[in-house]
Amino acid sequence: MTAETSGEVPTATRCGFVALIGAPNVGKSTLVNALVGAKVTIVSRKVQTTRALIRGIVIENNAQIILVDTPGIFLPKRRLDRAMVSTAWSGAHDADLVCVLLDAKTGIDEEAEAILAKAASVNHDKILVINKVDLVQREKLLALAQAANERMKFVRTFMIAAISGDGVDDIRTTLAEMVPPGPYLYPEDQMSDAPMRQLAAEITREKIYQKLHQELPYQSTVETDKWEERKDKSVRIEQTIFVERESQRKIVLGKGGATIKSIGADSRKELMQILDVPVHLFLFVKVRENWGDDPDRYREMGLEFPKE
């Protein structure tokens, strides 16, 4: 029996883009994953791991919430840094709603101050999300919330611990109510618009940073070259890790190839959990000098190449 024959009025759907902006390591990727209930962006101890606008997609009641997880906003020095900051702000201006994340422990430091000042110029409803509240006393949290609200107008303020999921359900419910009326833009069973090849590359990149977060600089990237779904339902994936110098290639390989084997094992394990099929992962390491100045690399990552 349909809604029409039963006399029920069909529930109107809502759909909208929600940008999450904040300083590096404030917990944006963790919040996206908690809201979606699955891993769609990588989370690393090292800052600047989210390079492109990877979206998580949430269905809550009658609403589809499309989360834009922007690169952490910071003071840019290199060309890649400038591209990432530009992308982050374009994501904020193009969204229907903006969540500004603050680290409860860090408070309003120089970076947060600059973000709040610039976010005031974004002409959308803004929601304040104070993350990592489990690490700070209540009095300090209230003072931080008040200080942030004095700097700009927030329609709502949430205090959460994204890593444990505390307070995340309230944000999800509120976002579902606030996104504008309209049809869904993605199939209901699709959690992210990042193709699986890209997500697989992101997962391997995360494992690299977990193993080599001190030894390896950020001028490295991973590309999925081959994705073959085999007759036995398994998937064969070939990926290339690009670094800028031979010395970095040796670090990734490790003595007797031990490091890259460990990275591959960790990445394969997580990919198998996500895909729910056996995964055969093959990793290669190549030197690509000065890739940080190559416009094609930026386009591949969904970033606009800065002219200067």
Q: Which residues participate in the annotated binding site?
A: 22-29, 69-73, 131-134
Query: How are beta strands 221-229 and 235-243 bridged, if at all?
Result: antiparallel
46 near 24, Cβ under 8 Å? no
CA nearest neighbour of 294 among 80, 150, 87, 149:
80
Task: For residues 35 and 98, give the distance between their C-alpha atoms in angstroms, rounded to a whole number.
Answer: 15
CA nearest neighbour of 222 among 245, 242, 246:
242
What letter would DSSP give residue 254?
Answer: -
Q: Which long-range contacts (CB under 8 A, 24 or more apart) does 251-255 make?
A: 251/212, 251/215, 251/216, 252/208, 252/212, 252/216, 252/220, 252/285, 253/285
Tokens 């009095």 -> residue:
139
Burial class (CB in 10 A: 0-12, 13-18, 19+), 79: middle
Beta bridge partners of 192: 56
CA nearest neighbour of 122 among 96, 143, 104:
96
What letter would DSSP give residue 255?
Answer: G
- The two tokens of residue 239 are 């990926």
Task: For residues 139 and 143, give the distance between their C-alpha atoms in angstroms, rounded to a whole number.
Answer: 6
Binding residues for GTP: 22-29, 69-73, 131-134
Q: Return phi, psi of residue 262, to 5°.
A: -65, -45
